[in-house]
Structure 1
Amino acid sequence: MSQQLPDVQASSPTVSIGLNRVGVTGVEKLVEIDQNGDRPVVLMAEFEVFVDLPKWRKGADMSRNMEVIDETLESAVGDTASGVEDVCGTAAERLLEKHEYTTQAEVRMEARYVVHDRTPESERLTQSTADIIASATATEDGTSEEIGARVTGMTVCPCSQGMSAARARETLLDLGIDDGTIEDFLDAVPQPGHSQRGHATLTIETDDDVDIDVTDVIDIARDSMSARIYNLAKRPDEDYMTYDAHADAKFVEDCVRSLADGVTETFSALPDTAVITMKQSNDESIHQHNAHAERVATMEELRAEIEA
């Protein structure tokens, strides 16, 4: 006769306080995402799975968390999911069902996504990568889902560029060039400014059933910086990217505002209650520190500010 093992997790803790998030991180799974009739995209994704824990319970059922996430993701791989946020939503709802003591379940996911590109000038086939970010939170009131991306691009500092333009203007005046010609030259040839690699993050969270194409999110994020970058670049492409970036110099704050503008224009059907998270971090080239800006707002707030 087998002995029943004690359920230690269900016992009372020594210190009776509740915990907001208890679970597992670093869970790697293959997830297959439908592409509207095209060949599905297969992602190597990393998951985090959490539930809240009441003060009277010593621990969460970690094995049960893993069982739920395994079952959900294996099903997603087998049936092809409509979106990574839906995979997270399904898993979060099942976690809530499986844990009778919890009031909130949360599933987060990140995965590398490959974007097929052509270089801007030589039109060579190449690839770019982005980090897809998805999450879902389930409670007894319903489930909210989040989808977004983190991309890398190039920015140029307008302040540094302005100082270079002032120096060029003085030099040309000393050479006897008239004001009109100088202004025409400076308009046609953007002056140097210190550049940096920028990282734009854009996520959209909503509890409405709204179809959000993650490739649109990636495009908004890539276009929010001074210039897109590419893994492959011939000399004409390098010249194009350098000119393009200096022709659209942006502070880190400008990049976040560009994200907001892109979201309101591209996703006009989003409900007012949708929460938009926009972040920009720049790896500074002439400083040891980095620059960062962010904004979290509802679609209603963004629309009101942009349209004012």
Structure 2
Amino acid sequence: MEAEGMMACPCAQEMVRAHARERLTEGGIEGALADRVLELVPVATHNQRGRGRLLVGAASVRAEDLVEIVEGSMSAENYDLLKRPDELFVVEKAHRRPRFVEDAVRDMLGNLVALYPSLSDDAYAHARQVNLETIHKHDVFAERGGTLGEIRAELAGGPASRATTRAEWIASRLGA
């Protein structure tokens, strides 16, 4: 299942936040008050349109659930048409939840495991996030695939194990 959403860059946002704090304190605003202002006001950053994909094998899962998981892993959802107050809501939501591509992949897999705890450890899942960059001439992506047993162990804090590839998983199902 593939879905699109909006991604806000945490790295650029942190630089903007630090610069804004510096300007506020240089302008005579006390540090604690400057920090409070920056907590209340969404801080600017550059945005990307993100494309997330979540594939699940050997299990019965609802496509609607996969769409919600993919969209929910991004900074905010995107829409075909919005009224201005709704645009404000989406932009503020995205800027209050900045994400790297690897954050989105980790969330997709974590939310899949949380929503479907009964999926067997030998089921296969693959998450991929691509962000269409706005200020760079390249796009960024992250992906992680493997059996749910491998993914569960990694999400529980264990070391990243060798990931079963999709081809290996399919071959194991075909008896190859």
Quickly name the TM-score band, shorter chain normalised.
0.7 to 0.9
Provide the residue aligned with 2:169 in structure 1: none
Is 2:97 the partner of 1:248?
yes
> Displacement of 1:275 after TM fit?
0.7
Provide the residue aligned with 2:3 in structure 1: 151
Provide the residue aligned with 2:77 in structure 1: 228
**C-alpha separation in 2, matches of 1:188 and 1:305:** 35
How many percent identity over aligned positions? 38
Structure 2 unaligned spans of 5+: 158-176
Alignment of 1:199-214 (within 5 A): 199-206=51-58, 210-214=59-63
**C-alpha separation in 2, matches of 1:219 and 1:297:** 21
Secondary structure of 1:296's counterpart equals strand
> Displacement of 1:190 after TM fit?
2.3
> Displacement of 1:175 after TM fit?
1.1
Provide the residue aligned with 2:47 in structure 1: 195
Secondary structure of 1:151's counterpart equals strand
Query: Of the candidates 57, 66, 91, which is equivalent to residue 217 of structure 1?
Result: 66
Amino acid at match of 1:263: L
Provide the residue aligned with 2:154 in structure 1: 305
Provide the residue aligned with 1:262 in structure 2: 111
> Displacement of 1:154 after TM fit?
0.4
Alignment of 1:44-83 (within 5 A): none
Structure 1 unaligned spans of 5+: 1-148
Query: Of the candidates 87, 95, 108, which is equivalent to residue 238 of structure 1?
Result: 87
> Displacement of 1:186 after TM fit?
1.1
**C-alpha separation in 2, matches of 1:286 and 1:211:** 40
Indicate the structure (1 or 2) with the bigger Cα radius of gyration. Answer: 1
**C-alpha separation in 1, matches of 2:75 and 2:128:** 15
Is 2:128 the partner of 1:279?
yes
Amino acid at match of 1:285: T
Provide the residue aligned with 1:288 in structure 2: 137
Q: Write 1 or 2 for the structure with the bigger share of strand.
A: 1
Higher relative contact order (CA 8 A, sep 6+): 2
Secondary structure of 2:76's counterpart equals coil
**Count of equivalent residues:** 157
> Displacement of 1:232 after TM fit?
2.0
**C-alpha separation in 1, matches of 2:109 and 2:146:** 9
Query: Of the candidates 156, 175, 182, which is equivalent to residue 27 of structure 2?
Result: 175
**C-alpha separation in 2, matches of 1:182 and 1:297:** 45
Q: Write 1 or 2 for the structure with the bigger share of helix.
A: 2
